[in-house]
Amino acid sequence: MKQQYFFLVCIVGAILLIVAGCDHGLNPEEDIFDSGFDGTVTLVEEWPEDSEVRMLYIFVFETIPLDSADAVNQFFQGKIHFDELRPPFQNEYTYSFNIDPGVYELVACIGIRGDNFFDLSTWMLSGIFTETDNPLEPTPVTVSPDERRSDVNIQASVIHPLPLPF
Amino acid sequence: MKYILIGVGLSVLSIASFSFAQGTIDGAVVDRETQLPLPGANVFLQGTVIGSVTDSDGYFSIRNVPDERITLVVTMIGYARFTQTDVHIAPGETQSFTIELRPTVIETSPVVVTATKTERSLRDVPTSVSVMQSREIERRNVFSIDEVLRNIPGVHFNLSQINIRGSSGYSHGAGSRVMLLVDGVPLLSGDSGEITWELIPVDQIERVEVVKGAGSTLYGSSALGGVVNIITRDLPERSMTAVRMQGGVYDKPHYSEWQWSERSRYKHNMHISHGQQIGNVQVVGSLGALNDDSYRRNDSRRRIMGYLKGRYTLSPYQSLTVSSFFLNQIRHNFLYWSSFDNPLEPFEEQIGEEVESFRIQSNVQYRHVFGSESFLTARTSWYHTDWEDNIGSNGNASRSNVFGAEVQFNSTVGRSHFLVSGVDVSYHTVDSDIFGTRSGYVFAAYVQDEWNITTPLRITGGVRFDITRLDTIDTFMNISPRAGIVYTALPHLTFRASTGAGFRAPAVAEAFAMTAASGLIVRPNPDLDAERSWSFEAGVNADITNWMNIDAAVFQNEYSDMIEPEARIEEEGLTAQFINLVRARVRGAEAGITFSFFDRRLQPRVAYTFVDGRDLDLDEPLKYRHKHMLVTGMLARYSVGWIEIDYRYLSKVENIDDELSIIVDKPDKQVPVHVVDISAGVEGSIGGIPLRFSASIKNLLQYHYVEFVANVQPIRQYIASLQVMM
């Protein structure tokens, strides 16, 4: 009988320990990023509702892809980050991009013609972030852990796209 | 042919006109120590098809007892087997018995049928088998049987897809590496090859047997990861009506920012069943309805279920059993969370999407007993599925039929050999927007010999040959051998080992699916080959004391040509196709301890499973497998009341489909699983009417977790149920 009590105490104790040590699992607060950057996307021409461009995205590339095959590889390796600008057909967007600290070679605004995001042939480069006078020369963005930039602004156009670098 | 038909007709007529001017046995089964009646005890005449189950008063009645010397047997979990030989009832005579069953301190070896296709004590089969009895299911207050299977050691789920000891990852609703049987009849759909757990009538389940490891030697394709066999209740001897009502409410999510509905979310369920015996025919039928608001947006479901089972006892040695069950369900479509900010809401464009389905399974089984261990079973079955949805611009629809037939013959050869042999055929048709118009067949033959070399040593060897044709794909031929050994070293110490092959032919959905949904284009692959496995297991079962039992096993499974979806980015976008890809190895160990304290009033249990699954081609962990699984719990009983607590732990999965990040927000949001359920109940009667009341809190800790990416599992629920029997 003593042995039974011993085992019982062990089992009940183990269950109580487990229960006491449990939190509530998935936690939205863990998802708050401190690092990243903010900015505005300004469309230099109006985005008409009958435009074949139906979606605009902010894309952040760790390195500029060499070609479309490299872009696909980087996509699967998680080296390309993106976020949709909503709702469509606005002339200006304020965005906030949460991302790990690092250097990102290209921050771009990309439009999608039609509604198939995964069809690369429908992608068009609407604008890039640059601090130079050359609208085709991207300026890398450095994200540091203790400072959040808020001036990563992009001039974009859904009517006069830039050439895709990949 | 004409003479054969006339002969068969005359035989049937002669059997049907068999007149039972025979005796009756009735009486009651009680606990020897408490003298309380024992409902649910099996009472049968050995070597015949005649038997009964005691009712809520412990009463039984067996008619049509043959005019010869017979052996009366009574079995019940938790009690020693009762046998009375040389019973003779003269025609027209009724003899009453009061049978006292002796409680056993710890019950570790119930009778199982799935491992060897014949009734054997759990300790006498060479593979690991877990059994869950009807009382265990009832106590847990479930709405669907898959809810309780999560508490079986080594079993976990990826949404509705069962996974035994790491055999399966997530196949996106196509194909199953676990065979589901209901009373021995397969229940995998003809189109997607998946399991619909809601179809199974929970209130009619006698027990669930889970065989771990390859079972293709007896059950063919899909059994390479294991077999789940749902055994339905035996038919009543007396008129009996039961009403079961369940109601529950979901709690609010722990984080207020995840709350999406202002009103409370409910689920409720009602079942009515009635059974009785009319002459030589025993019948039971049930009808049920469920409404579940769900804790997630666009995830509610409504269903109606029906069940009918009848048995005609042609003679003391022959019976014909017909059963049928159906499910009509309308459920909304929740595929993935829209974002981790709103994990209980789907993508906006999915709001309003729903699927309506109708499924029915019917089967006829004929059984002829030739002696205590020899019998013939012939069965035919039909499983029909029909669903349509409003997803996409035109919606989708699919209809499938699976027709099956099996003849199984169990016989003793000499004094030490027991043979199980049979022929199993099936034919399926599919007519679907997604899968096309398809058909296929399976022809299989199997044989297994169980050889009792000496009293403590038993060897099993068997082989099955399958020919599978799946529409335009080349015919698969497969040989699945198996061997096993059981050595009873001491009365309470048994060693077991087994090795065997398994295989799975691709499902129609895997080979021919052609659709686009949520940004994913699914391509067909008519060149798919069957996947194959080889499994090995060694285990031991021991009663350490009269209140502690240990069961432990080590296992290793080798897989080749595993069918897995592969994602690619092509010109048209993100595509997926099922291909034969993976060589994999799953190995691990499992150990469980069952206790029985204070005359079985307190029964704690704990079981741990370690699973190491690796993709040998990529040298990385297999996807959607948990390395560590722990199930533990405790049942406490006193007088007419009981309380039970269950705890389940699963470590975080080590690998998922990274490509899902393209269409799903934060698919890597995973946590270890800690789920605590608690239930309590009382049994009694008011005005002579037996009642059972129970209440449960599911997910007591309000723990938020996913079983598959971007799918939060049920949050805390409060459930109560009342069952009235008349």
Q: For chain B, give the mean pLDDT.
A: 89
Residue A23 has pLDDT above 70, yes or no: yes
Closest partner CB to B257 (pick from A3, A28, A75): A28
Closest by alpha carbon to B458, among B135, B191, B195, B125? Answer: B125
Task: Give A24's contacts in chain B (Cβ within 8 Å).
Answer: 254-255, 701-704
Instruction: Give the number of other Cβ atoms within 10 Å of residue B585's Cβ.
Output: 15
Tokens, residue B164: 């035994």
Q: What is the residue type of B343? A: P
Task: Give B632's contacts in chain A (Cβ within 8 Å).
Answer: 11, 14-15
Closest by alpha carbon to B544, among B42, B105, B52? Answer: B105
**Residues in CB range of A87: below 8 A, 6 or more apart:** none
The minimum CA-CA distance between A108 and chain B, rounded to whole Å, is 18
Q: Tell me the pLDDT tens digit for each residue of A53-82.
A: 988 999 999 998 888 778 877 877 778 888
Q: What is the C-alpha separation between B467 and B477, in angstroms, rounded?
A: 5
Q: Tell me the pLDDT tens digit for each residue of B235-285.
A: 887 888 999 999 999 999 999 999 999 999 999 999 999 999 888 899 999
Cβ distance of B255 and A72 shorter than 8 Å: no
Please give the ipTM for the structure prediction.
0.79
Q: Residue B52's pLDDT is what? A: 82
**Residues in CB range of B570: below 8 A, 6 or more apart:** B521
* Domains, in order of start, for chain A: 29-156 (2.60.40)
Q: Residue A85's pLDDT is what? A: 87
**Best of A118, A119, A121, A166 to disrupt the B interface by mutation (most B CBs within 10 Å)?**
A118
Task: Give A78's contacts in chain B (Cβ within 8 Å).
Answer: 658, 661
Of 3.40.50.740, 3.40.1280.10, 2.40.30.30, 2.60.40.1120, the CATH number of B16-101 is: 2.60.40.1120
**Best of B662, B665, B675, B700 to disrupt the A interface by mutation (most A CBs within 10 Å)?**
B662
**Residues in CB range of B619: below 8 A, 6 or more apart:** none
Tokens, residue B129: 């088998």
The torsion angles phi and psi of B306, rounded to 5 degrees, stand at -140, 155
Provide residues of A within 8 Å CB-CB of chain B.
3-4, 7-8, 11-12, 14-15, 18-19, 22-28, 31, 72, 75-76, 78, 116-121
Cβ distance of A26 and B595 shorter than 8 Å: no
Q: Residue B12's pLDDT is what? A: 40
Q: Closest residue of B to A8, CA-based?
A: B604
Instruction: Give the number of other Cβ atoms within 10 Å of residue B460's Cβ.
Output: 25
Residue B4 has pLDDT above 60, yes or no: no
Whether B702 and chain A come into contact, CB under 8 Å, resolves to yes
Whether B239 and chain A come into contact, CB under 8 Å, resolves to no
Q: What is the residue type of B17? A: S
Cβ distance of B658 and A75 shorter than 8 Å: no
Of residues B653 and B3, which shows the higher confidence score?
B653
Whether B343 and chain A come into contact, CB under 8 Å, resolves to yes
Whether B251 and chain A come into contact, CB under 8 Å, resolves to no
**Residues in CB range of B663: below 8 A, 6 or more apart:** B336, B518, B519, B520, B574
Contact of B228 with B219, CB cutoff 8 Å: no
Averaged over B415-435, what is the pLDDT?
Answer: 94
Contact of B494 with B485, CB cutoff 8 Å: no
Tokens, residue B297: 């947006």
**Residues in CB range of A73: below 8 A, 6 or more apart:** none
Whether B465 and chain A come into contact, CB under 8 Å, resolves to no
Percentage of residues in chain B with pLDDT exceeding 70?
95
Buried (b) or exposed (e) across A129-152, using 16+ Cβ within 10 A? bbeeeeeeebeebebeeeebeeeb
Cβ distance of B255 and A78 shorter than 8 Å: no
Interface of B with A in 569-628 (CB under 8 A): 569, 571-574, 595, 597-598, 602, 604, 606
Q: Closest residue of A to B258, CA-based?
A: A28
Domain boundaries in chain B?
A: 16-101, 146-725
Number of Cβ pairs closer than 8 Å across A and B? 90
Residue B172 has pLDDT above 80, yes or no: no
Q: What's the DSSP call for residue B350?
A: G
Q: Tell me the pLDDT tens digit for each residue of B495-553.
A: 999 999 989 999 999 999 888 766 678 889 999 999 999 999 999 999 988 889 999 99
Closest partner CB to B606 (pick from A11, A23, A119): A11
Q: Residue B338's pLDDT is what? A: 92
In chain B, the N- to C-terminal Cα span, in Å, equals: 50
Q: What is the C-alpha separation between B170 and B172, in angstroms, rounded?
A: 6
DSSP strand pairing (B111-112 vs B94-101):
unpaired
The minimum CA-CA distance between B111 and chain A, rounded to whole Å, is 28
Q: Tell me the pLDDT tens digit for each residue of B192-214.
A: 999 999 999 999 999 999 999 88
Cβ distance of A24 and B645 shorter than 8 Å: no
B16-101 and B146-725 in the same fold: no
Residue B632 has pLDDT above 50, yes or no: yes
Cβ distance of B706 and A26 shorter than 8 Å: yes
Element (H, E) at A2: helix A2-21
Instruction: Give the number of other Cβ atoms within 10 Å of residue B635's Cβ.
Output: 20
The minimum CA-CA distance between A31 and chain B, rounded to whole Å, is 8
Q: Tell me the pLDDT tens digit for each residue of B105-140.
A: 555 577 888 888 888 888 889 999 999 999 899 999
Whether B705 and chain A come into contact, CB under 8 Å, resolves to yes
CATH topology of domain B146-725: Maltoporin; Chain A (2.40.170)
Residue B570 has pLDDT above 80, yes or no: no
Contact of B217 with B482, CB cutoff 8 Å: yes
Residue B17 has pLDDT above 50, yes or no: no
Cβ distance of B571 and A119 shorter than 8 Å: yes
